[in-house]
Structure 1
Amino acid sequence: MNLSFILLFLHLWGNIEVSLSQNACSKLPDVPHANVEYKEGDVIHFTCAPGYTSAQASKYVCTSDGWLAVSQGKCYSCSTLPEVPHAHVSEETKKSEYQEGDVIHFTCESGYTSGPVIKYVCSSEGWLAVRQGTCNFSGSSCDRPPAGEGVTVYGLPENDNPILPHHVLTFSCDGPGNFLIGHAVLTCGQDGQWDNPFPSCTALLWCGAPPPLADGDIIGIPRSKYRLNDRVKYSCQAYYIMQGVPFKTCQNGEWTGEMRCLKPCTVSREIMNSRNIAFRYNHEDKLYSTHGDALHFVCTRGRPVGTVEMRQTCNDGVMELPSCQ
């Protein structure tokens, strides 16, 4: 091909002014994964590197403004297949070379299964996942939930396919007045075990009036009927100490929650006078001591007798007192 023919071609192609200036076209266009091939004159062609292909040839011409694309393609490669552990490309979709638009399916190895068919397509960006998945050991599938018992299950695989790791099921109860006991969402683990036990449904039971508390009271006005998970709060009378949580909760028709009010101790001056004792410290000069309080005594005359120590602690209304003679 001579230069006059090239100029004629460019004139017919678009009346483009051609410059042979090496300055205007000193820098070649950047075409990834391609090698440049020079032809006659100022027209250059690009060919893709080994392992890459293009649906259209890339051709540029040098003009007074620099390189101008006559035809532009993109080099891509689908020679390296996607990595899917424990799987291989199915015989139906296997080829020696893949072009843009080709689709491959993966088949799991023996002993492994997948949910949907794993599918990839060759594109100008390389392999793209149409339907991505994994091949899991068939022994790691999770048990199906029991049928019936008023529980509705959402998300079960079709056609009794195995339930594979990472699969999620959602549970709910049928009919009004039923309540789900347990977790509403379960996930199948890699070991073939669900992350929580299967839930169950039970009729919603109401609780009656909350039980009374000895030496205590219910805060607020009690009702005659309570729903599931309703709770009431209790408080102890003055000088009484509550042991346990201050709440009782309605659970399936029964009140749960344990507490009691620990009694204070009473120390009268008549008893202390009869035992010839008094409070050692002025700040302990109190006739009522709450549970856990410690009191210190001293002899008003004589000295201690017996085995009871001069320091005593109130224990749910009981406190031994020392004696002096």
Structure 2
Amino acid sequence: MQLSLIFLLLQLWGNVAVSLSQNACLRLPDVPHAHVSEETKKSEYQQHDVIHFTCEPGYTSYETSKYVCTHEGWLTVRQETCYSCSELPDVPHASISEETKKAEYQEGDIIHFTCDPGYISGPTIKYVCTSTGWLAVHRGACYFPASSCDAPPANGGITVKGLPENDDPIVPDHILTFSCDGPGTILVGSSVLICGKDGRWDKPFPSCRVPAGCGIPPRLVNGFTKTTTKHHYEHDERVEYMCKSHYVIEGKPFKTCNNGEWTGEMRCRGKS
């Protein structure tokens, strides 16, 4: 009786182990843009079963992704990425050159773009197919020659950010930012310029200059400065005001010298 019971328990345990093994491989590995190949597809998987993944139409991989079923679940033998270069980069007013055009692109393939008639570009617009899709080697743009904006004049005292590389033309909607290099100078004009559709900048080029100082600060009706005034103030220097008795100040109590002009608004209002 005891021997029969032991055999029964061993058989039941074997069935449980098989069931656990099957359950461990119920959930297939997640391989984006791929599915299990028809040759390795099964309704149920057991230990030691091997599956291969095939990329979806329009996608490809360097090698086949491969997994093996174990009692703990799927074990990665080789994991690859399915990538796609079927969707070509969008380059307005351009098409792929005949020399680099293909029906299907693989990793490492390079394409060049040729501008439409009437349009030109700087260096050749170039992209390379990678495992994550198309990567710009040189992005560039095609434009009408008359619609490009002039480059800003060379100026040792001003920094310009956003200039195209390789002396490429400055096309419409391109943005440049300007700032002064050294201390003691201020930017006169706009710090941001945008190239217009007509090939003109939306504002004049700014310049850097030493800011002007200010003279005696303006009087405040029913008020006065907290300190003795001077005949000359430097740029960014400020003075503080206060009101006479029975008056309260409205606004911030400071006026600041800003490139030759006093800025800051306040007034003394009678107490109610």
Given the superposition, is the C-alpha separation of residues 223 and 82 from structure 1 closer, same or farther in structure 2, using an over 3 Å criterion? same
The answer on 1:128 being equivalent to 2:134 is yes
Amino acid at match of 1:166: H
| Aligned residues of 1:112 and 1:135 also touching (Cα < 8 A) | no
| Aligned residues of 2:85 and 2:134 also touching (Cα < 8 A) | no
The equivalent position to 1:36 in structure 2, one of 35, 38, 48, is 38
| Aligned residues of 2:150 and 2:170 also touching (Cα < 8 A) | yes
Distance 1:61 1:243 in 2: 78
The answer on 1:55 being equivalent to 2:97 is no
Residue number in structure 1 paired with 2:229: 222
The count of corresponding residues between Structure 1 and Structure 2 is: 238
Cα deviations across residues 104-161 of structure 1 (Å, max 9, x unaligned)? 2334434556677544332344x1323474636445533433455x752423445653
Which of the two has higher C-alpha Rg?
1
Residue number in structure 2 paired with 1:167: 175
Shift of 1:163: 1.8
Residue number in structure 1 paired with 2:211: 204
Structure 1 residues 303-318: aligned runs within 5 Å? none
Structure 1 residues 1-325: aligned runs within 5 Å? 24=22, 32-34=33-35, 35-37=37-39, 47-57=54-64, 74-112=81-119, 118-125=125-132, 127-131=133-137, 133=139, 135=141, 137-138=143-144, 140-147=147-154, 151-155=157-161, 156-157=163-164, 160-164=167-171, 165-172=173-180, 177-183=184-190, 185-189=191-195, 191=197, 194=201, 196-210=203-217, 216-234=223-241, 237=244, 248-253=255-260, 255=262
| Aligned residues of 1:186 and 1:195 also touching (Cα < 8 A) | no
Cα deviations across residues 67-118 of structure 1 (Å, max 9, x unaligned)? 7777665544333323333332233432232212222233443455667754
Q: SS of the residue aligned with 1:36?
A: coil
Shift of 1:232: 2.8
Distance 2:68 2:203 in 1: 68
Aligned-residue Cα RMSD (Å) equals 4.9
Amino acid at match of 2:130: S
Shift of 1:250: 2.6
| Aligned residues of 1:85 and 1:134 also touching (Cα < 8 A) | no
| Aligned residues of 1:121 and 1:130 also touching (Cα < 8 A) | yes
Identity %: 51
| Aligned residues of 2:97 and 2:111 also touching (Cα < 8 A) | yes
Shift of 1:216: 4.7
Q: TM-score, normalised by structure 2?
A: 0.58
Distance 1:238 1:95 in 2: 86
> Which structure ranks higher in relative contact order (CA pairs < 8 Å, sequence separation ≥ 6)?
2
